[in-house]
Every structure is written in structure tokens, then in C-alpha cells.
Amino acid sequence: MPKVSIVIPTYNRAWLLRKAISSVLNQTYQDFEIIVVDDASNDNTIDVVRALYDKRIKYIKNEYKKGEAGARNTGILNTNGQYIAFLDDDDEWLPKKLELQVKKIENSPQKTGLIYTSIIRYYYKENKLIKKHQSITLHKGETYYILMKQNIIGTPSCVLIRRECIKKIGLFDITIAYGLDYDYWIRISKHFDIEYLTEPLVKYRIHENRLSNNIELRAQGARDLAKKYGKQIIANNYWRSIYFPLGIELCNKGEMIEGAKALLRSIRHYPTRKISYYYFAMSLFGFRNFKRAMVLEDKLRSYFHSILNR
């Protein structure tokens, strides 16, 4: 029976998946099993897994796409370990990640249900690294009320949880469009304490093909979380970051009524942002006028930028 079960959900990211799995196989702590859940990919994912042959790797392919929550849940249901870890297919672990987390959780009280680590954010554009930045962990202990205000844990790739957490709270919520990991941390924190390691042990890749770049999906996820917990769960500045780009995106697609509604919500959450009023007004004059307004705004921005840089 392995001590740690690692769930890796994946969809059409074979070239990144190879790096993710290799980062697990290269851990200094080796008492684990890997459950790769292929969420109905149509690339060469299965070939990547076969090429990295290791008897500790279990490959499961969904017959149809179940989405993030469904894939994670499939993985969890096929685990055997005392502890569960998650690794997204576009992230990587540093070699001592499991060793330090297992040591930490085994030297913590039974009430400690989750250990998370600091991460290093790697920013990519067109598959080229443009910058990196370390995020440091800050909060531990009883974190329920902190998590209700902010997702202090972040990516699933940085956590290790006791199986008792899953027995207590169940699986990921498939009704949440986006932010289901955030929901999971809240549910765990309601019953268990949380600990952290300040050492950065995860390479967190930020690139163009991430779910978080889908602004409509993020907005729906925020609404799902607000419906479940009340609007206080999402900080005001989060709504600001959601509704303005959502309004622009909808108007650019010709969905003027929904775009105007989103821009109006942006104004409600950020009334001092003058550009929101401009785009909201333009959205009332139809699709063509809105596109003209965007072109004009871009020209003016470029003009004043060139003056300031002379």
C-alpha cells in the first residue's frame, strides 16, 4: 500500500504531462502511486504515459469529457494512499516536495488535514519563459474565515491532504464551473487545521491555454461560489477584475445587452474607474459603434504613449 497517491488530471497536454510525471518520478520520496486521469484527450497522452513506464503509474481514460471536477474525482476514487496529492498537468514539482510535506504532516497533530507549499510562478508567452515570481505562504491553523475572504492556498499542485479529509467532506463539487479547488479548501478548513511550508516546491506554469484565461468561465465560477457561500466570499477587487474584461469580451462578440450588464456591474464594484463608463456608454450604441470606440481608444492610447516617451 503506497503512502501517497498523486492524482494528475490531464486533457490534450501530452507534451507538458511528460514533464509533470517526470517531476514526480524524480522525487526524493518514492513511496507513492500516480493516477493519471485522461479526460478524453485526442492527442498522444497514452503514448507519453507508456513511454514513462513505471508500475506505480495507473492510467485511466474517461470515455467522455467529465471536466476538471469529474477528472479529479475519478482520480480520488482510484487512490489507495494514506495521503492524497494533486498535480496539474502543466505544473512540476521540485525534487523534495513530497519528502518535506510527508515529514511535515506526520509531525503535525491529527487535526491538521492539509499541508500546502510556496510556489514559483513561471510566466510563459508562446512557450517562452518571460519571467518568474515566488509566492510565499502566510496563513496556517484555523483558516476557514480567512479562506472565505481569499484563496490563500491556490493551485492544487501545492497541497497534500489526509485521506480523512475526503472521508469527511467528500469529492469535488461538479456544480462549480470554476474555482472548485477553492471550494474544496474551504470545506476542508471547516473541519481541519491547515499548515504550510514556506519553501517553494512547485513550478506553477502560467500560459495562454489555461482555464483561468476564459473570463466567462471565471465569472460563472464566481457566481457559483457566491450562490453557495454568499457574495462575501469573493472580495470586491475580484469582481472588479472579472466584470470589466467580461463586458469588453461580450461586446466584442456582439452580445451587447449582456456586455452592457457586465460593464454596469464593473462600475458598481469600481465606480472610480472612468474607462468603464466610456465603454458602457459605447455599448448602448450598438456593435459597430462599440468597435469604432475601441479603435479610437487604442489610437489615443498609442498617441499619448508616444508623446510621453519622446
Domains of the chain: 4-206 (3.90.550.10), 235-308 (no CATH)
Q: Using CA atoms, how far apart are residues 18 and 8, in angstroms rounded to an integer?
A: 11
Q: Using CA atoms, how far apart are residues 48 and 54, in angstroms rounded to an integer?
A: 12
Task: pLDDT band for 295, please (50, 70, 90 cuts).
Answer: confident
Task: pLDDT band for 245, please (50, 70, 90 cuts).
Answer: confident
Which amino acid is it at 208? E
Q: What is the mean pLDDT of residues 270-281?
A: 87
Cross-strand pairs, 112: 193
Q: What residues contact 130, with CB distance under 8 A and at least 6 apart?
A: 123, 124
* Phi–psi pair at 95, nearest 5 degrees: -55, -30
Residue-wise pLDDT for 68-82, tens only, equals: 999 999 999 999 999
Q: What residues contact 173, with CB distance under 8 A and at least 6 apart?
A: 69, 180, 183, 184, 228
Cβ(62)–Cβ(39) below 8 Å: yes
Task: pLDDT band for 241, please (50, 70, 90 cuts).
Answer: confident
Task: pLDDT band for 31, please (50, 70, 90 cuts).
Answer: very high
Q: What is the mean pLDDT of residues 236-265?
A: 84
Question: Crossing angle of helices 287-308/256-269, nearest 10°?
Answer: 50
| Selection from 273, 294, 274, 267 nearest residue 283 by Cα | 294
Whole-model pTM: value is 0.84
Question: Between β-strands 128-135 and 57-61, what pairing exists: parallel, antiparallel or unpaired?
Answer: unpaired
Q: What is the mean pLDDT of residues 51-66?
A: 93
Helix (H) or strand (E) holding 274: helix 274-283
Burial class (CB in 10 A: 0-12, 13-18, 19+), 117: buried
| Selection from 144, 137, 151, 75 nearest residue 100 by Cα | 137
Report the alpha-carbon angle 87-203-132, nearest 5.
150
Alpha carbon separation from 179 to 102, 150, 172, 175, 218 (Å, rounded): 26, 12, 10, 11, 8
Q: What is the mean pLDDT of residues 229-241?
A: 74
Q: Using CA atoms, how far apart are residues 217 and 152, in angstroms rounded to an integer?
A: 21
Q: Using CA atoms, how far apart are residues 143 and 31, in angstroms rounded to an integer?
A: 30
The pLDDT score that the predictor gives to residue 222 is: 84
Cell of 271: 465606480
Lowest mean pLDDT among 82-96, 123-137, 141-155, 284-298: 123-137
Task: pLDDT band for 218, please (50, 70, 90 cuts).
Answer: confident
Cβ(294)–Cβ(283) below 8 Å: no
pLDDT value at 243 more than 90: no
Lowest mean pLDDT among 140-144, 165-169, 220-224: 220-224
Encode 242-268 in three state secondary structure: HHHHHHHHHHHCCCHHHHHHHHHHHHH
The pLDDT score that the predictor gives to residue 234 is: 73
Cell of 306: 508616444
